[in-house]
Amino acid sequence: MSRCVRVDLGERGYDVVIEESYDRLSQVVRDRRRIAIVTQATVDRHVGGLVRAQLSAVGVVHQTFMMDDGEDAKSLTTVEKLSRSFAQGGMLRGDLVLAVGGGVVGDTAGFAAAAYYRGVDVVQVPTTLVAMVDSAIGGKTGVNLPEGKNLVGAFHQPRAVFVNPLVLHTLPDREFRCGLGEIAKYALIGEDFVSSQVEGLIRRDPATLAVVIARCVEIKAAVVARDEYERSGARAVLNYGHTVAHALETATGHTLLHGEAVAVGLVFAAHLGAILERVNPELVATTEGLVRGLGLPTDAPAGLHADEILELMARDKKSAGALTFVLDGPNGIERVENPDPGAVRKALAAIQVEA
């Protein structure tokens, strides 16, 4: 069954196509002169042939450029390398970048596309669950610095997004479960549509995945349509749990994967909301139960210290000069700046960050 979710941005709107093939990809790219496929070796072995077959079927000239694996590859060095490869391959302003991979590929290739020729089109083909439900949608692109995650980037909306749930069977268990961290976030920022689907998600049932992915995309698309550039504050809801998550990723040298860090961040946000008396303490138990049920951690890795995490959170790109969190409360999920420092440290202690 095919599902299509529209990201409604007027003339710049686009479709997120969710189906068990890439058959519609050729329709979107058929008029392009040249296409640069950006991917990784492991992804290319599983998906590259399927994608290239669609391009060859309509006679589009294409080249494949490889990125390294891991968050370290999500860097300005990689953007320069890709941009130079585009230039050497004859890419012009009317050509297109096809990002085939997880969040590392999508974020980096998307930023390279945003910068090259001051902006060439990009189509996202996410191959991880994290990318399918979150990072490939909404136009956020960027790379990391040693000082923090995603500190350099641009808003650059794709022309289309193609999600094939069948490719999720190629993921290692840990990487697949990372996507469940983002799915838990979507369940906690609105109606819980996940708890009833846990068994099917863990089995990677394609029909269950298609339903859950589509719902996550619908939620994100609606938020992005209201606040594309994060100016009104409406898009802040999508960062629920992420301030601590990004700090944990940086502090662990990215050995704690993004979805795992988000899961811990969701638990932290529930604790902080309860400590600040913004939410009923029962939210902590609800959050921990959902996260554990999806096989994700509820505590930070051992050996992390509050001072380091606080410093990293203060540098978060969403901080606006203050220590900023996204928390649930009487008015729903919203930005909260400079909460009581003692409460923050108490919430960090609750996820086993050392004083």
Whether 271 sits among the annotated catalytic residues: the reply is no
Whether 226 sits among the annotated catalytic residues: the reply is no
Check 239, 254, 260, 318 and give the catalytic one: 239
Check 11, 118, 147, 231 and give the catalytic one: 118
Chain centroid to Cα 256, Å, comes to: 15
- Select from 97, 91, 20, 94 the least CA-distant residue to 55: 97
Whether 254 sits among the annotated catalytic residues: the reply is no
Check 230, 288, 308, 354 and give the catalytic one: 230
Output the CA–CA distances (angstroms, integers) from residue 173 to 31, 202, 214, 246, 339, in the order listed.
38, 9, 21, 22, 37
Given the DSSP bridges, would you call strands 34-40 and 96-101 parallel, antiparallel or unpaired?
Answer: parallel
Whether 235 sits among the annotated catalytic residues: the reply is yes
Output the CA–CA distances (angstroms, integers) from residue 251 to 141, 246, 247, 304, 311, in the order listed.
22, 9, 6, 7, 10
Cα dihedral 229, 118, 95, 31 sign: positive
Whether 292 sits among the annotated catalytic residues: the reply is no
Check 62, 81, 156, 235 and give the catalytic one: 235
Whether 3 sits among the annotated catalytic residues: the reply is no
Whether 182 sits among the annotated catalytic residues: the reply is yes
Check 74, 81, 140, 318 and give the catalytic one: 140
Whether 239 sits among the annotated catalytic residues: the reply is yes
Check 32, 74, 81, 220 and give the catalytic one: 220
Whether 32 sits among the annotated catalytic residues: the reply is no
Check 81, 156, 185, 242 and give the catalytic one: 242
- Select from 217, 226, 249, 66 the least CA-distant residue to 148: 249
Other C-beta atoms within 10 Å of 27: how many?
12
> Is residue 238 packed enough to be buried (19+ CB in 10 Å), middle (13-18) or exposed (0-12)?
buried
Check 62, 81, 246, 318 and give the catalytic one: 246
- Select from 256, 353, 276, 269 the least CA-distant residue to 307: 353
Cα dihedral 156, 159, 165, 170 sign: negative
Whether 6 sits among the annotated catalytic residues: the reply is no
Check 81, 150, 182, 271 and give the catalytic one: 182
Check 81, 156, 215, 258 and give the catalytic one: 258
Catalytic residue annotation? 118, 140, 182, 220, 230, 235, 239, 242, 246, 258
